[in-house]
């Protein structure tokens, strides 16, 4: 081994030692900085604790050391649950951020749709309908509503029967006939004239209809009883 090669090895060793010493110096600085931070935090913590005790004492609040210790232990035991709760809050916050544009667009579409309904008259219609319902509520008592509920089946059956095509046609014919009569100039009939009119086919058929209707009506009432 020559003197030159030995010098090269010594130089490499010196370089490595310099690197090691530099790392040791950095570690020392970090350790000192950490120690200073811990000392500062310790001082701050003591001041906070001292001020908290003073404020609590002024407020008449008595601290229970065992309760505080128990609370601290519970917090430590539930640290995973607390982290999960914080994660959930972050997820909710992210969801709100993502959903905000969608909700904003839904709100705008809803306003636009309501404007269209108002232009077509739906809003005014429902407003007037609410007045109708209000008049119904104020115009009928609880007893009236109860009676309506008790008889709703009969009422609906009657409406169903009236709305049948033959019944509607008969009602329409009756309305037409009534409208064609001049109620202000109805002719007078004497008993003799009425008796003569009773002999006409129309009157005999009309009487037959009335008699048949009354007989069947009485019969239906007897069945219902």
Domain assignment present for residue 216? The answer is yes
C-alpha to C-alpha distance for 68 and 221, rounded to whole angstroms = 85
Number of domains in the chain: 4
C-alpha to C-alpha distance for 15 and 21, rounded to whole angstroms = 10
Same domain, 85 and 125: yes
Domain assignment present for residue 211? The answer is yes
Domain assignment present for residue 74? The answer is no
- The pLDDT > 70 percentage for the chain reads 88
Domain assignment present for residue 219? The answer is yes
Structural domain including 200 reads: 193-225
As a residue count, the chain comes to 225
Whether the Cβ atoms of residue 63 and residue 56 lie closer than 8 Å to each other: yes
Same domain, 170 and 204: no
| Residue among 138, 155, 135 nearest 147 (CA) | 155
pTM for the whole structure: 0.33
Sequence-ordered list of residues with C-beta below 8 angstroms from that of 75, at least 6 positions apart, any chain:
82
Segment 178-215, tens digit of pLDDT: 788 777 887 787 778 778 877 888 888 888 888 888 88
Segment 93-130, tens digit of pLDDT: 888 888 888 888 888 888 888 888 888 888 888 888 88
Segment 41-62, tens digit of pLDDT: 777 767 776 776 677 666 665 6
Same domain, 59 and 16: yes
Same domain, 122 and 89: yes
The per-residue pLDDT for 60 is 64
């Amino acid at each position: 081994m020559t003197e030159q090669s030995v010098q090269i090895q010594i130089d490499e060793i010196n370089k490595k030692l310099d690197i090691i010493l530099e790392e040791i110096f950095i570690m020392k600085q970090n350790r000192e900085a950490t120690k200073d931070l811990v000392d500062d935090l310790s001082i701050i913590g003591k001041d906070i604790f001292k001020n908290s005790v003073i404020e609590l004492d002024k407020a008449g609040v008595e601290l229970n050391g065992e309760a505080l210790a128990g609370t601290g232990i519970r917090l430590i035991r539930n640290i995973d649950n607390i982290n999960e709760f914080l994660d959930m809050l972050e997820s909710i916050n992210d969801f709100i951020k993502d959903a905000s544009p969608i909700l904003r667009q839904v709100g705008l579409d809803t306003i636009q749709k309501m404007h269209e309904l108002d232009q077509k008259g739906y809003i005014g219609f429902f407003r007037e309908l609410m007045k109708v319902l209000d008049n119904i509520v104020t115009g009928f008592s609880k007893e009236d509503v109860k009676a309506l509920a008790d008889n709703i089946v009969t009422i609906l059956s009657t409406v169903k029967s009236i709305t049948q095509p033959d019944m509607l046609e008969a009602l329409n014919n009756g309305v037409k006939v009534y409208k064609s009569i001049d109620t202000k100039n109805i002719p007078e009939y004497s008993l003799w004239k009425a008796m003569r009119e009773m002999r006409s086919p129309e009157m005999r058929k009309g009487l037959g209809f009335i008699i048949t209707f009354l007989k069947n009506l009485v019969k239906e009432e007897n069945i219902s009883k």
